[in-house]
Amino acid sequence: MSDRTALITRFLAGSGWGNATRSHLAGDASNRSYQRLQMNGKTAVLMDAPPDHGEDIRPFVAITNHLLTLGFSAPRILAQDARNGFLLIEDLGDDLFAKLIQTSPEMELPLYCAATDVLIKLHQSPPPDHLLDYNPAVMADYIAPLFEWYHPAEATPIQNELQTVLTRYCTTPPVMSLRDYHAENLLWLPDRDGIKRVGLLDYQDAVRTHPAYDLVSLLKDARRNVPAAIETAMINRYITTTGTNPDTFRAAYAALGVQRNLRILGIFASLCINAGKPHYIDLIPRVWTQLTELLTHPALTTLQTLVLETLPEPTPDHLQRLKSQCAKPRTP
């Protein structure tokens, strides 16, 4: 028995779940892993977030408590061990938006409406003070992995122009952004009402930033193609409900989407090269397509030229070069 296994056994025994049966749940891009526990007809989820791999459960706990206070369906914290990186949380089920849309395509529009309404409601409350201020300067700096892992190049021109357009159009007071708000981090809870029907996951990296950030994360999804009609309808739904300036919001949406997709290109390449996760390379063509679509906004003409002149398209040869550098997967 490894030390980590022994620590898990002790944590579960101390929280009253020592006799539970355990089954693996899919992980994410981090070093966290998850198990579903079953005991006496009840279920819970164990989050294993090893501190020696850079994980820290405290932000997740703090943001969970904040979201629950506001009336959102974040998973309740049942037990925690911050020192060793263990959390026992409420099991919100398996009905991820991404899976539900595959099996019930007629649910796609209602699900995206519900997810957009969650953002509208979330943005009515001030963000917690302790969150990172994800301002234009920070966002420009955060695309650095692009030039280290996707394509080595001079970063300054693109970063400077990106910061310029973000500063010009992202003037709205910041709101709380859950940061990775998309169909694989949202769960459908039809037995609940209103905003509580959307279960929230993977928000420990929440920041303070422009309201369009999570909307573009939702609608320019690196893992699935959101129909253009739904994207347009959700942008209009947000603008109409909140009364925001449509032209400024759409320019900010495009600029934030470009920032997010430039960062994702670098992160996905890094996940292959450094973490031994080559399947992320297969998502890069979609990210590139979304990037080039967003760059067509008239406010981004100079940025579009810089990006397309600096970065190579993800051709099969380029993707294979990235995969050829892929690290061996870590053993548990």
Concatenating the DSSP letter of every residue in 47-71 gives EE--GGGT--SHHHHHHHHHHHHTT
What Å distances lie between residue 73 and 187, 275, 320, CA to CA?
A: 9, 31, 41
For the chain, list the domains and their CATH numbers.
Answer: 3-89 (3.30.200.20), 97-324 (3.90.1200.10)
Residue 32 pLDDT grade (very low, low, confident, very high; cuts 50, 70, 90) = confident
pLDDT, tens digit (0-9, with 9 covering 90-100), for 37-73: 999 999 999 999 999 888 999 999 999 999 999 999 9
**Interval 82-101: pLDDT, tens:** 999 999 999 999 999 999 99
Strands (E) across 62-115 are located at 77-81, 86-89
**One-letter identity of residue 83:** R
What does the pLDDT read at residue 167? 98
Strands 186-188 and 21-25: unpaired
**Mean pLDDT of the region 118-125:** 98
Query: What integer pLDDT is reported at residue 31 of this predicted model?
Result: 79
Tell me: the pLDDT tens digits for 173-198?
999 999 999 999 999 999 999 999 99
By DSSP bridging, strand 86-89 and strand 42-48 are antiparallel
String of DSSP letters for 128-145? PTTSEE--HHHHHHTTHH
Given pLDDT bands bounded at 50, 70 and 90, which one contains residue 330? low
* Per-residue pLDDT tens digits for 155-175: 999 999 999 999 999 999 999
Residue range 206-217, pLDDT digits in tens: 999 999 999 999
Instruction: Return the pLDDT at 25.
Output: 85
